[in-house]
Structure 1
Amino acid sequence: MAPHPEAAALLARSHRLGSDPRNTNYAGGNASAKGTDTDPVTGGDIELMWVKGSGGDLGTLTEAGLAVLRLDRMRALVDVYPGVEREDEMVAAFDYCLHGKGGAAPSIDTAMHGLVEAAHVDHLHPDSGIALACAADGEKLTAECFGDRVVWVPWRRPGFQLGLDIAAVKEANPQAIGCILGGHGITAWGDTSEECERNSLHIIRTAEAFLAERGKPEPFGPVIEGYAALGAVERRERAAVLAPVIRSIASQDRPQVGHFTDSEVVLDFLASAEHPRLAALGTSCPDHFLRTKVRPLVLDLPPTAPLDEAVARLGELHAEYREEYAAYYERHALPDSPAMRGADPAIVLIPGVGMFSFGKDKQTARVAGEFYVNAINVMRGAEAVSTYAPIEESEKFRIEYWALEEAKLQRMPKPKPLATRVALVTGAGSGIGKAIAQRLVAEGACVVVADLNAENAQAVAAELGGSDKAVAVTVDVTSEEQIAEAFKAAVLAFGGVDLVVNNAGISISKPLLETSAKDWDLQHDIMARGSFLVSREAARVMIAQQLGGDVVYIASKNAVFAGPNNIAYSATKADQAHQVRLLAAELGEHGIRVNGINPDGVVRGSGIFAGGWGAKRAAVYGVEEEKLGEFYAQRTILKREVLPDHVANAVFALTGGDLTHTTGLHIPVDAGVAAAFLR
C-alpha cells in the first residue's frame, strides 16, 4: 500500500534535506507532516502526524521509520503535563498516542512537531544554524541576520517543554518561518511540505551567507609555527605508526574501532593558534557531543616531534583526560545518574596529521569523525562573527547521562561475538579465504581482504558490505614492503588489527625428482616466508595496541601426514605448523594467541584446486577431477566432504570468544583422517 500523500511528501522532503550535509548531519534532526486519514474503526476522519522515529536518518528514511500518532491525543498531553521537572515522563505517554501499531518509536523531539500549529515541521542541525546558536551573542546575531522572520529560542534540553516553548514562539510571531534554538539547531515550519522545505533552506542558506559576508577572514587565528600539515605521504606514514597506539588509548575501558581523516578542515583547524582553546570548550549541539564526548584529546606537540616523544606525550595526556572526565562525571552526577560509561576519548586530534575517531563499529567511528568536522565548522562560524560559546558543562552532562539516553542504549541489540575486532585475511579473494572473510564479517568483525588479485579482493570487499565492513588491499605476501603497506591500510581504515589469518598459498604437486629448486623456493616464499612476514607485521601492530590478538594459520593435514608427490607443499605446511608453536610461545606475554587449522580435501570453491592442483592430485589418485571431492570424503572417518565454510567455522571457533585460554593448538578440519591425528 502506498503511503498517505502527506507522509509521501514528508519522505521526499526528508530525503532531499538529509542528502545534503549542509542541512543536517547523519541521523540528526527530524521532520513531520500532519494530515487527515480515515479511522479504520469509526470510518470517520482522523487527524494524524507522521514524524521521523527515534534513531532514524532523514536521508535514508522509509515509511517504516516514521512514528504515526493521533494528533488529538498528542495535543491532549498538554493537559496532563506535570511540568519541566518531570517532562521525561511524557516520552512514555507518546505510546498512548500511537495510531494502530504506530510504526517506529517516537523520538524525544515528537512534542516539538506535535505541539507546533503547522502542517509540516523540520528540525535540523545545519552547521550555519548551529554557529549562530552557539555564538556568545546569538540572539542579537539572529535578529541581524533574519529580522523578525526567524525567532531566537533560548537553550533548553530537547523534550516536551521545548515543544511548548517553540509552539508559544510561533503563536506570538505569526510572521516567523522558524527559529534558532540556542546551543542546538534550527526549526522551520510551513503549511505545505514545499513551503516548509523552502523555509528550512532559507534559514540555512541565509545563515551561511551572513557568516561568509560578516565573518572575519581568520576566525581560528594565524597558523602556529611548525604546526602546518605534513605532506600527504609523510602524514599517512605518521598516522599509520600512531594509529595502534591511539587505538589503545581509546580502548582502555572497552575495545573500539577507529576511523582516520586528514581532511583540509581538520588540518587547518589543528594548525591554527586558537585550536587548543576551542577544542577545550568542547562541542555543543547534543547530536555532536553524544557521539564525540564533551571534548577531544588533543596532542600538544608539533607534527615533526620525534615519534617516541609523541607516543609518550599521548600516554600522559590520556591519563590526564581520564582524570578530568572522571572529575566531570563526579561534578554533575546525581544519585540516580547512570554509571560512568568510560573515560576514554572518542576523538583524538594530532596536529599536522589528522583526526582519529572511535566507536563500537566502523560506521559509528566514521560518523563521530563527521560530527567533529561539523563541530569545527560551527566553531569557525561562531568565531567569525562573535565568540564560540557552547552550552554549560552541566547541561552537557544532563544530555550525556540522561535517563532516556541510557534507556536507548540499553535497547540496543547485543553486540555480535567479533564486534570491534579488525581482521586481516590473506588470500581472501577466493576459496577458503573468502569464506573466512564472510564468516568474520557475519560475526561482527571488520575485515581487510588481502589478495594478490586486486579485482577479486575488491569484489569480495564490496560483497561484504563496503568500506564500513571491509576494505580490499592488493598484496604479494613475499614482499615485505607490500605487507607493510597492507597493514598501514588496515590501521588507517579501522584503527588497528586484532585478528590475522595466514591463508594465502599455492600448491605445487610434483614427485621429488621433478621438483625444481625454483618450485621449492616459490612454495616456501609464499607460505612459509609469507606467513612469517605477515605474522611479524601483525605482532608489531598488536603489541602497540596492547589489546592482545589472534593469529591463525591455515596449515594442512599435510603438515603431519606424508603423502606422495608433494614434497614442496607438505614441507612448507610443516614449517607453518611449527611457526604456530613458536609464535604461541613467544607472543603469549602480549595476550596474542596463535593457533592453526589443518584442513584436507577442500575441493569445491578452492582457488588452489581450481588452479591445477586438483587435476594433479586426481591423477595421483587415479580418479576423475570432478569426483576428487567425493574421493577425499570417502577416505575419511566421517565420509563427509570438507568445504571452505567448514574451515571458516573453525577460525570463528578459535577467535569468537569461547577459547580464550587456548594457544598453540592445531584443529583438524578433515572429516577424520586417522593418519593425521595429532599426537
Structure 2
Amino acid sequence: MSLKGKTLFISGGSRGIGLAIALRAARDGANVTIAAKTAEPHPKLPGTIYTAAEEIEKAGGKALPVLCDIREEGQVAEAVEKTVAAFGGIDVCVNNASAIQLTGTLQTDMKRFDLMHQINTRGTFLVSKMCISHLKLAENPHILNLAPPLDMEAKWFKHHVAYTMAKFGMSMCTLGMSAEFAKDGIAVNSLWPLTAIDTAAVRNLLGGDAVAAQSRSADIMADAAHAIVSRPSREATGNFYIDEEVLRAEGVTDFSKYAPGATGPLAGDFFVPDEVFARSGTQVKGLF
C-alpha cells in the first residue's frame, strides 16, 4: 500500500530514524512535516529541519519544515495548524522525538530528569493530542510511537530508572490511546528495534564506532514503520511491534542489507523481551 498523497507529522525528524521514516514515505510521494528544533547546524549532530526538507523533496515527497519544541504546547499547536493548512489534513503522526541519559538515580540531575519526561512522555502525549482531531477525519489514521514494549523487568530500570520511566511513558500512551480511540478507527502502535540502530545517539552516547559497527541502519525502522502505517488502522492497533518481526511478517527473509558491514552477532537493543530474542532469526549479543 502506497503513502502517496498521505500526510505525516513527524516530531524530531531532522536526522536519524525520524528522517529515515520521512524519506521512505517521500519515495511514495507523501507529504511530510518535520517538526523539530534544529534550525542551525549542530557541531556534533547532522542535519537541520531545512536539510531534512531538501532530502524529502529530492526523494519525491513534499516537505514542510517547522521549527518546533514539542515541550511547548503553543508551538505544537502551530505546527499542526501549519501542516493542515499546507496539506489539508494529517494521516499519520509519528512520535519520534526523544531524549536519553543512561544514569542511575544519584547521578541523574533533576533538570535532565525533567527534560526526558517532558520530551518523551509529555511530548508524545501532547503531539498525539494535537493531531487526533485531524486524524479522526483521515481515511486510514495512525499514531506510531517509537517506544519499547512494556517489559516490566527490573533489569531495564536498575541502571537508568529515569530514562526507562520516560520511555515507558511513551509506551503507556500507546496502551491507553489505542483503546481510547479504537472507536474512531485511529491505530496507535509502538515500534522498537531488535538491534541497536546506527544513529548519532549510538555514536555519541552508547559506545561509539564499536557499537555502530554492530548496529543496523535506520532503514530497517523506516521500512517497518512504512509497513505498519500502511495497514488498515481498524485492524492493527495496540501493538508493540519489533522492526524485524514486522518485516518478517511482510515476507522479508534477508536482513543483511541493513547491516552490510557487520561481522558476527549484532548488538541487541534495550527493552527487548527475552522471548523476542529467543524467537528471532538474528544472532545478537552484548545487550545494552
TM over 0.5: yes
Larger Rg: 1
- Do residues 598 (structure 1) and 177 (structure 2) align? no
* Correspondence for 1:489 among 82, 87, 93: 82
Alpha-carbon distance, 1:461 to partner:
0.7
Q: Which has the higher contact order (CA 8 A, sep 6+)?
A: 2
**1:491 Cα shift?**
0.6
> 1:480/1:676 Cα in 2 relative to 1: closer, same or farther (>3 Å)?
farther
Q: What is the distance in 2 between the residues matched to 1:613 and 1:517?
A: 19
Aligned equivalent of 2:54: 462
- How many residue pairs align between the two structures? 242
Segments of 5+ residues of structure 2 without an aligned counterpart are 41-47, 245-265, 278-288
The residue that corresponds to 1:647 in the other structure is 221
CA distance in 1, matches of 2:35, 2:93: 11
Whether the 8 Å contact between 1:546 and 1:590 is mirrored in structure 2 is no
Letter in 1 for 2:210: K
Q: Which residue is 1:609 aligned to?
A: 202
Change over 3 Å in CA distance of 1:559–1:433 after alignment to 2: farther
Contact 2:11 2:97 in 1 (8 A): yes
Question: Does structure 1 residue 554 correspond to structure 2 residue 146?
Answer: yes
Letter in 2 for 1:503: N
State the partner residue of 2:27. 442
When residues 518 and 603 of structure 1 are mapped into structure 2, their CA distance, relative to the original with a 3 A threshold, is same
CA distance, structure 2, for counterparts of residue 485 and residue 600 of structure 1? 35
Distance, in Å, in 1 between the alignment partners of 2:150 and 2:177 is 20
Counterpart position of 2:93: 500
The equivalent residue for 2:242 is: 668
For residues 434 and 676 of structure 1, what CA distance do their matches in structure 2 show? 30
Partners in 1 of 2:61 and 2:235 — Cα distance? 30
The secondary structure found in structure 2 opposite 1:527 is helix
CA contact (8 A) 2:135 2:142 kept: no
Partners of 2:32 and 2:61 within 8 A in 1:
no
Where 1:513 maps in the other structure, the secondary structure is coil
1:396-422 Cα deviation digits (max 9, x unpaired): xxxxxxxxxxxxxxxxxxxx6112210
Q: Does 2:230 match 1:656?
A: yes
Higher normalized helix content (fraction of residues): 1
Once residues 140 and 230 of structure 2 are traced to their aligned partners in structure 1, the CA distance between those partners, rounded to angstroms, is: 14
Q: What is the one-letter code of the residue matched to 1:521?
A: D
In structure 2, do the counterparts of structure 1 residues 657 and 668 end up closer, same or farther at CA, with 3 Å as the change threshold? Answer: closer
Confirm or deny: 8 A CA contact 2:96 2:146 kept in the other structure.
yes
Q: Shift of the alpha carbon at 1:504?
A: 0.3
Q: Please list the CA deviations of residues 536-561 of structure 1 after superposition, one character each: whole Å capped at 9, or x if unmatched.
A: 00102223x25351000001368655
2-structure distance, mates of 1:655, 1:549 = 8
Structure-2 residue corresponding to 1:75 = none
Counterpart of 2:162, as a letter, is A
Give the one of 162, 180, 194 matched to 1:586. 180
Residue in 2 that maps onto 1:425: 10
**2:90 and 2:138 in contact (8 A); partners too:** no
Contact preservation (8 Å) 2:202, 2:212: no
Instruction: Tell whether 2:69 aligns with 1:476.
Output: yes
Q: Is the 8 A contact 1:502 1:551 kept in 2?
A: yes
Q: Counterpart of 1:677 in 2: which secondary structure?
A: helix
State the distance in 2 between where 1:662 and 1:483 align: 27
RMSD: 2.5
Which amino acid in 1 is paired with 2:131?
Answer: A
- 1:520 match: 113
Task: Give structure 1 stretches of 5+ with no counterpart.
Answer: 1-415, 619-624, 634-640
Q: TM-score, normalised by structure 1?
A: 0.34
Give me the whole-angstrom Cα distance separating, in 2, the residues matched to 1:659 and 1:468.
Answer: 23
Q: Distance in 2 between matches of 1:597 and 1:512?
A: 27
Aligned counterpart in structure 2 of residue 626 of structure 1, from 205, 209, 214:
209
Aligned equivalents of 1:451, 1:651: Cα separation in 2: 19
* Change over 3 Å in CA distance of 1:559–1:540 after alignment to 2: farther
Per-residue CA deviation, residues 350-385 of structure 1 (Å, 9 max, x unaligned), is xxxxxxxxxxxxxxxxxxxxxxxxxxxxxxxxxxxx
Contact 1:454/1:472 (CA < 8 Å) preserved in 2?
Answer: no
Q: In 2, distance between residues paired with 1:599 and 1:557? A: 10
What pairs with 1:72-87 in structure 2 (closer than 5 Å)? none
